[in-house]
Amino acid sequence: MTTRLRRFRRAAREEAERLEEPVREAAALARKLGLDPYPVNYWVVDYDEMNQLIAYGGFQRRYPHWRWGMTYDRQQKQDQFGMGKAFEIVNNDDPSHAFLQESNTLADQKAVITHVEAHADFFRNNEWFSRFSGDNDLDAAAMLERHAETIQRYVDDSDIDREAVERFVDAVTCLEDTIDQHRPLSADPDTGRTQPEDLRERLDGMDLSAAVREAVFDDEWLDGLAEAEAAAADLDHPRSDVLGFLREHATVYDEEAGEAVEMESWQKDVLDLLRREAYYFAPQKMTKTMNEGWAAFWESLMMGEERFAGEDEFLTYADHQSRVLGSPGMNPYKLGKELWEYVENTTNRREVADKLLRVEGITWRNFHDAVDFERVQSLLEPPAAIDTVRSDTLDDLAALPEDDPRVDWEALDRALSDPDAVDIDRYPWKVLTYEGLAERHFSLLKPQYCGFLRRIRRSELEQLSRYMFDDEKYASVEEAIDDVDKTAGWNRMREVRRSHNDVTFVDAFLSPEFVEENHYFTYEYTRATGDFRVASTDHADVKKKLLLQFTNFGKPTIAVFDDNFENRGELLLGHRYNGIMLDIGEARDVLERIHELWGRPVNLMTIRKEFDEHEVEVARRRNREPEPTEAGVRIRYDGDSFDEFELEPELEERIQASDVDYDTKPEEWLS
Amino acid sequence: MGLREDLERFREVGEERREDLESFIRYGDLSGSNSDEIEIPIKVVDLPEFKYDQLDRGGVGQGQGGTPDVGQPVGQPQPQPGDGDGDGDEDGEPGEEGGEHGYYEMDPEEFAEELDEELGLDLEPKGKEVIEEIEGDFTDVTRTGPNSTLDFERLFKQGLKRKLATDFDEEFVREAMRVAGETPESVYRWCRAENILVSLPWIESEWDKIPDDERGRWDSFGEMTDNVERSTAVQRIRRRGLREIPFRRDDERYRHPEIEEKKQKNVVVVNIRDVSGSMRETKRELVERTFTPLDWYLQGKYDNAEFVYIAHDADAWEVDREEFFGIRSGGGTRISSAYELAKQVLEEQYPWAEWNRYVFAAGDSENSSNDTTERVIPLMRDIPANRHAYVETQPGGTAINATHAEEVDRAFADDGDVVVASVGSPEDVTDAIYEILQPASAKAKAETS
């Protein structure tokens, strides 16, 4: 056992030494490209350690729970049967920690390192992430470790039943996505309620005779009033941070006593910790596509175009990349990367068009005729000295004017005076600046985008020129192109990376061309044939369906509508219905667990689509889709059994979101 | 490391909270499992969460090599963002969130054992133990084995039989659809009268493919038959070749040498189901909910169990297992048609002297008038079997004209080998299975007590 460990450790150490230079240089290159990553600590781990880290979400210590064991088990089997191996995992922390699989080839390792640097940049600069820590230091590993210790302590505590802790964690985990992820954790939890004063208390103080009280303010009337007021006070402001609400107001169900009792301090503590973790992990779920796309974009630029992969590694890398980007289905790497490329290209195109429209004689009306696109293309080409940087071409760079912003003069001086200090043939980017690199990699010059400028729409040109005052700034196309800011695309990408999340990102940048080129389509279930069928290939529909899958982590939105429903202390949750039904079976299972956290009966309002069996049969025979009826229901669980009630119309109205429609079924379905 | 403990705990928790067999049979999703492998859900795996109804949600897919047409089936939904648990930044291979999990797999043998335990059953077929003494010859058969020992002749024969049993002259039926003024129903009725084993759904699915201007090609069925030549099954097979012979895993038998004397239990199970027009969704589901576990149980219980699957409306035809579960048809009901076919199959292939026979039928108990008393009951008496069972699937009690079960029950009141069970909702399934499989003596006891 010890020898085996030592051998592994030696292998890991050797691997670590081999990676020192790529790690250093990748971080430097990333910064040159305008990225601003957290410092990253890299660790080389073997496959088993990797599986463990994956199970723990990228950290070395988490609180005890069987769920990690389950993920580990799954990961291990996946690994074993060759169904997918993890190359790396990186966590959102300052500094970030990245773990590399020991058995990766050097090309894989380099790819992974460049990928990780981009993730670390994203973690640091995306606002959704910075909301969690605010101005405080983000020390995620330490936080999670503290949580682990605390919960472990409760598990080990002989006064607390181990199973009870586990069950409590289970119950809270079921709700980990029902938080208000758009508000920072540190903000005041929006969980308070303004309880209307019960008139009874005032009457008590008024010293009325019993006879008057009974005649004027009988109990029925008082109850009715209190109920109406409580309902009015509470229903106008549903809280989506269900976990936070429970933390503030919940009691728990005590099986022995058979009633609701105060939460014990360990329970409050565990609920707090788990809620904090839910908020910590939420940004990663909210930006998965953007973040993976971002990492894939910069990885590809560094590895491929900036040749961070050595000549001999390039094929291995190309294979690695095609496996990651090529897997079918909705692949966040591919979707994200292409959206980023779209942001880059459209910004660059706009920049070039903006300059061209300022040339005398070019207007949005004659743009496509007046502009010689091939000439523009060749004018955009970087000068040879920037385009080709080798140790034997450095003199060409040196010949550029001394204030040329594209050259890193300091590095160039060093390279010229001591050729051994800077390995220019390996790292040509070292003698260039951000501007120089942006020019080298200007996207409109890439062969796959050479027609992109020409394809600009008239409407966009018109919009650009609408408020353009100095539209005769340049006498010639040369002058105009000379003024093009080649960093525009990358600058814009960094702005987008700062403020967007997956929902806004897809909404803003998913283009019709993208949907078409990638043969995306939506599918829906049809009851006529009992299977899933292609429903639409229209880009607006595809976007709609994608947005459904990104909004609120792709989960239905549930909020607390009342914590004193019908004045009986019952919890009333509402599913904000957007046309897509809940999985009611699962929802009932969740209610059972919420009951444990609430202690009293819990209610869920939702809307169910019901199909008449006979109509389905008729529809089936006639090959058309049956029309569902939408029925508002309130499902109540009292700790023992479920009841279902018809939903009062005014409540039904409150959970209906009638302005959205995620259904993409065609009118003439299957006909 | 803490993870080891988490893993151990996961195994404990998973095993402990595995959905028990009984509630799985009642409520579980039976459709995903096949006959080699039964998937019992593990309750705890993946904690519940508020999520969208999967059917209602739909999704986004990516066409391989082109945008697909609207209306085209897409198979299983592809993994969607939001499906994974998403904790942490799970890099590595994308799409790893996909796939089903949360099932505990058992093979039919294990299933049978557990069901025995759960229901207190122990089904030992009486008598009919054929003792064979074989030395070194490749004559014994099992369901698995090296390819070189596959009994291809048998596989081929069984495939051919299935082919002939389900085959019909498609072109001829299409011509029938070109007769003026006919509807899918009338074509179907006519075909059935002509003994063409076509199903109504097939006609309906082909109906619109016939161009309108060809509709009046023939004035009547008579004119059509006079002008169009019917091809025989043999001709069709000659023409289309043998590639279309449906080879089934179920039919594969591997010979292996037996050196010792071995007791062999020969069991044949005939499953009959009513697929007539009155068998609507819920009734069909109840039939499948009863037959599927029964099928697994017997598959697991006997190494060399043979299964015969018969579907019937007013006529009966033999189908294979995959088709049997999920079959739909239309038309009237004549239960005796199925027993006639069962009798024929059993007599030809499974002589009573050598085989333990189980004949199970299920349906809504509706039959054409007098068919039960005049034909079915005599046929049942005429087919010797260890156990005859009829499962009545009538959601919410009996219907007025559903008298088949009652009549059978009355006729065989004192015969312990004939059992009638009634399934009105999924809750009744386990009881029904118990009734069907209980030892013969138990019925008598139950009746008297």
Cβ atoms of residues A602 and A642 within 8 Å: no
pLDDT in tens, A614-645: 888 887 777 778 888 889 999 999 989 999 99
pLDDT of residue B242: 58
Question: What is the Cα B228 distance to its own chain's centre?
Answer: 36
CA angle A274–A275–A279, rounded 5-degree value: 115
Q: Hey, is the C-beta of B142 within 8 angstroms of any chain A C-beta?
A: no
The mean per-residue pLDDT over the stretch A337-350 comes to: 94
The topology (CATH level 3) of B109-128+266-448 is: Rossmann fold (3.40.50)
Please name which of A48, A131, A37 lies closest in space to residue A86, comparing C-alpha atoms.
A48
Using CB atoms, pick whichever of B76, B82, B92 lies closest to residue A549.
Answer: B82
Using CB atoms, pick whichever of A55, A532, A555 lies closest to residue B73.
Answer: A532
Please name which of A50, A52, A82, A75 lies closest in space to residue A323, comparing C-alpha atoms.
A82
Which helix (H) or strand (E) segment holds residue A563: the answer is: strand A557-565
Cβ atoms of residues A558 and A574 within 8 Å: yes
Query: What is the rounded CA–CA span in Å between residue B213 and residue B224?
Result: 16
Q: Mark out the alpha helices in A236-372 (DSSP H runs).
A: 242-249, 265-286, 288-300, 314-326, 332-357, 367-370
CB within 8 Å: B71 and A534 = yes
Instruction: Name every residue whose Cβ is closer than 8 Å to that of residue B104 and which is 6 or more positions away in sequence.
Output: B14, B18, B39, B40, B41, B42
pLDDT of residue B259: 45
Query: What is the rounded CA–CA span in Å between residue A200 and residue A488?
Result: 68
Query: Which residues in chain B (93-112) have CB-CB distances under 8 A to chain A?
Result: 93-96, 98, 101
Query: What is the rounded CA–CA span in Å between residue A394 and residue A413?
Result: 10
Cβ atoms of residues A113 and A89 within 8 Å: no
Using CB atoms, pick whichever of A72, A289, A556 lies closest to residue B50.
Answer: A556
Q: Hey, is the C-beta of A322 within 8 angstroms of any chain B C-beta?
A: no
Cβ atoms of residues B192 and B322 within 8 Å: no
Cβ atoms of residues B166 and B317 within 8 Å: yes
Q: Hey, is the C-beta of A529 within 8 angstroms of any chain B C-beta?
A: yes
Q: Closest residue of A to B13, CA-based?
A: A66
Query: What is the rounded CA–CA span in Å between residue A582 and residue A559?
Result: 14
Burial of B279 (0-12, 13-18, 19+ CB in 10 A): buried
Angstrom CA distances, A463 to A76, A363, B421, stand at 55, 12, 76
Name residue A434's amino acid.
Y
Q: Which residues of A touch B282 (CB under 8 A)?
A: 613
Q: Hey, is the C-beta of A610 within 8 angstroms of any chain B C-beta?
A: no
Query: What is the rounded CA–CA span in Å between residue B225 and residue B193?
Result: 13
Q: Hey, is the C-beta of B49 within 8 angstroms of any chain A C-beta?
A: yes
CA angle B389–B393–B396, rounded 5-degree value: 140
Instruction: Name every residue whose Cβ is closer than 8 Å to that of residue B179 and which is 6 or more positions away in sequence.
Output: B187, B217, B218, B219, B220, B221, B223, B224
Could you give phi then psi for residue B211, rounded to 5 degrees? Answer: -60, 145
Q: Mark out the alpha helices in A399-452 (DSSP H runs).
A: 409-417, 434-440
Length of chain A equals 671
Name residue A167's amino acid.
R
Q: Which residues of B touch A587 (CB under 8 A)?
A: 48, 50
Query: What is the rounded CA–CA span in Å between residue A671 and residue A622?
Result: 9
pLDDT of residue B41: 55
pTM: 0.67
CB within 8 Å: A89 and B92 = yes
Cβ atoms of residues A336 and A546 within 8 Å: no
Closest approach of A440 to chain B, Cα-based (Å)? 30
Helices and strands, counts by H and E, chain B: 18, 13
Length of chain B equals 449
Could you give phi then psi for residue A560, rounded to 5 degrees? Answer: -80, 125
Query: What is the rounded CA–CA span in Å between residue A50 and residue A458?
Result: 52
Query: What is the rounded CA–CA span in Å between residue A550 and residue A288?
Result: 9
Residue to mutate among B11, B60, B80, B203, with most A CBs inside 10 A, is: B60
CB within 8 Å: B63 and A519 = yes
Angstrom CA distances, B366 to A212, A593, B76, B241, B404, stand at 70, 45, 36, 41, 6
Cβ atoms of residues A398 and A404 within 8 Å: no
Angstrom CA distances, B426 to B26, B27, B285, B286, B321, stand at 5, 7, 9, 7, 22
Closest approach of A66 to chain B, Cα-based (Å)? 4
Q: Hey, is the C-beta of B373 within 8 angstroms of any chain A C-beta?
A: no
Query: What is the rounded CA–CA span in Å between residue A663 and residue A580?
Result: 8
Q: Closest residue of B to A73, CA-based?
A: B7
Q: Which residues of B touch A324 (CB under 8 A)?
A: 93-94
Local structure of A315: helix, strand or coil: helix
Q: Hey, is the C-beta of A86 within 8 angstroms of any chain B C-beta?
A: yes
Query: Which residues in chain A (122-181) have CB-CB distances under 8 A to chain B?
Result: 148, 152, 166, 170, 173-178
Helices and strands, counts by H and E, chain A: 30, 12
Closest approach of A87 to chain B, Cα-based (Å)? 5
CA dihedral sign of residues A169, A171, A174, A178:
negative
Q: Hey, is the C-beta of A252 within 8 angstroms of any chain B C-beta?
A: no
Q: Closest residue of A to B282, CA-based?
A: A613
Mean pLDDT, chain A, rounded, equals 86
More confidently predicted of A195 and B287: B287
Query: Which residues in chain A (428-487) have CB-CB distances under 8 A to chain B?
Result: none
Query: Which residues in chain A (551-570) have CB-CB distances under 8 A to chain B?
Result: 553-556, 558
- Residue A527 CB neighbours (<10 A): 17
* Interface size, chain A vs chain B, as Cβ–Cβ contacts under 8 Å: 283
Query: What is the rounded CA–CA span in Å between residue A309 and residue A87?
Result: 16
Which two three-digit tokens encode residue A537? Answer: 């290939």
Closest approach of B38 to chain A, Cα-based (Å)? 19
Q: Closest residue of A to B76, CA-based?
A: A532
Q: Which residues of B touch A323 (CB under 8 A)?
A: 93
Give, for all 449 residues of chain B, the pLDDT tens digit. 488 888 888 777 766 655 556 666 665 656 555 556 666 655 445 688 999 998 889 888 887 777 888 877 776 554 454 443 333 333 332 222 333 345 556 677 777 777 777 666 666 654 445 444 444 444 445 555 556 666 777 777 777 776 666 677 788 888 888 888 888 888 888 888 887 878 788 888 888 888 878 888 888 888 888 888 777 767 776 766 655 666 666 666 666 555 444 556 678 889 999 988 888 878 888 888 888 888 888 877 776 678 899 999 888 989 888 788 777 777 788 999 999 999 999 999 888 888 888 899 999 888 888 899 999 999 999 999 888 999 998 887 667 778 898 889 888 888 888 889 888 888 888 888 888 887 765 554 444 33
Cβ atoms of residues B59 and A523 within 8 Å: yes
Could you give phi then psi for residue A487, rounded to 5 degrees? Answer: -90, 0
Please name which of A10, A8, A251, A19 lies closest in space to residue A112, comparing C-alpha atoms.
A19
First to last CA, chain B: 60
CB within 8 Å: B63 and A520 = yes
pLDDT band at A64 (very low <50, low <70, confident <90, very high): very high
Pairing of strands B254-256, B140-142: antiparallel
Using CB atoms, pick whichever of B3, B51, B58 lies closest to residue A68.
Answer: B3
